[in-house]
């Protein structure tokens, strides 16, 4: 019988595999602990336990156990063990490890997908010359939560979002030459992350044994000469695509 959401947890057939970024397992508490994951630990759904918990396996590696996957029946968990740990899942999409402060009360993150992200109060953003007060969301004639403006000087756009009480975010396009520089840096970071993940995965395969079945990854291609990455001011959730120049 194939696994499905309608299947009772007691009939679940243990599953495991490899994604590009992690090892994964789907199984009941008994099945996961039989593989050495979360021995002696409380699992999601037990009294006082969150829907997602961090445990360790027999190798001493951190494993995240999650019960929020709606495609699984009650009592079956999705566990993952990352190949590399990131402070933030999307940290590599930004040029800076932390936030810069170009103006008093304003933070800046330089996104590698072709935009700068500013955050601050209305007073701080206006004082920094980033926007005029009447263009902020919630002002008369403006949207309540978001406003978008064209930046004719660089053929881009400025998206302003209200983040809370008197807190705003401005996502602003950067100049074309800066877009190109960031594209190259982003692609190199992606290649470096892929290489680091693959190296850790290979070492784990030797450590874990044959139950971790190898799945060949498709190598990420470098930027061909004369090609460009399609970008916009909104960082996409997945990798950028390619197109020939017009």
Please tell me the predicted confidence (pLDDT) of residue 1.
Answer: 57
Please tell me the predicted confidence (pLDDT) of residue 223.
Answer: 52
Residue 63 neighbours by CB distance under 10 Å: 24
- Distance between CA atoms of 221 and 225, rounded to whole angstroms? 12
Please tell me the predicted confidence (pLDDT) of residue 226.
Answer: 52
pLDDT per residue as tens digits for the range 172-186: 999 999 999 999 998
pLDDT per residue as tens digits for the range 198-221: 888 887 776 654 444 433 444 555
Residue 68 Cα to chain centre, angstroms: 17
pLDDT per residue as tens digits for the range 77-110: 999 999 887 655 566 788 876 678 899 999 999 9
- The residue written with tokens 């190898």 in the block is 214
Q: Are 9 and 28 contacting, i.e. CB atoms less than 8 angstroms apart?
A: yes
Residue 241 neighbours by CB distance under 10 Å: 9
Residues of the chain with pLDDT > 70, as a percent, come to: 78
Please tell me the predicted confidence (pLDDT) of residue 119.
Answer: 94
Per-residue pLDDT of the chain (246 residues; tens, 9 = 90+): 577 767 778 889 999 988 888 899 999 999 999 989 999 999 998 999 999 999 998 888 899 999 988 888 889 999 999 988 765 556 678 887 667 889 999 999 999 988 999 999 999 999 999 999 999 999 999 999 999 999 887 788 999 999 999 999 999 999 999 999 999 998 998 888 888 888 888 877 766 544 444 334 445 555 555 554 444 444 443 333 333 333
Q: Are 102 and 108 contacting, i.e. CB atoms less than 8 angstroms apart?
A: yes
Q: Assign 3-class secondary structure to 142-162.
A: CCCCEEEEEECCCCEEEEEEE
Please tell me the predicted confidence (pLDDT) of residue 215.
Answer: 38
pTM of the shown model: 0.60
What SS3 class is residue 80? strand
Q: Are 137 and 131 contacting, i.e. CB atoms less than 8 angstroms apart?
A: no
**First vs last Cα of the chain: how many Å apart?**
53
> Which run of H or E residues covers position 184?
helix 176-208
């Amino acid at each position: 019988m194939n696994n499905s959401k309608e299947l009772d947890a007691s009939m679940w057939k243990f599953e495991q595999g490899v994604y590009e970024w992690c090892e994964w397992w789907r199984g009941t508490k008994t099945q996961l602990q039989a593989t050495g994951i979360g021995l002696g630990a409380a699992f999601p759904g037990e009294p006082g336990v969150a829907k997602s918990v961090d445990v360790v396996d027999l190798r001493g590696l951190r494993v995240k156990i999650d019960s929020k996957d709606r495609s699984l029946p009650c009592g079956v968990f999705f566990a993952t063990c990352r190949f590399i740990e990131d402070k933030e899942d999307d940290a590599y999409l930004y040029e800076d490890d932390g936030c810069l402060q170009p103006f008093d009360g304003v933070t800046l993150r330089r996104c590698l997908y072709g935009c700068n992200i500013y955050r601050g109060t209305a007073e701080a953003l206006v004082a920094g010359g980033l926007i005029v007060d009447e263009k902020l969301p919630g002002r008369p004639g403006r949207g309540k939560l978001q406003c978008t403006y064209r930046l004719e000087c660089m053929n881009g756009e400025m998206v302003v979002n209200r983040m809370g009480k008197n807190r705003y975010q401005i996502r602003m396009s950067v100049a074309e030459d800066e877009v190109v520089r960031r594209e190259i840096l982003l692609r190199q970071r992606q290649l470096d992350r892929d290489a680091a993940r693959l190296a850790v995965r290979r070492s784990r395969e030797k450590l874990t044994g044959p139950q971790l079945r190898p799945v060949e990854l498709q190598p990420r291609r470098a930027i061909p000469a004369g090609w460009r990455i399609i970008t916009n001011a909104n960082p996409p959730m997945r990798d950028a695509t390619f197109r020939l120049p017009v």
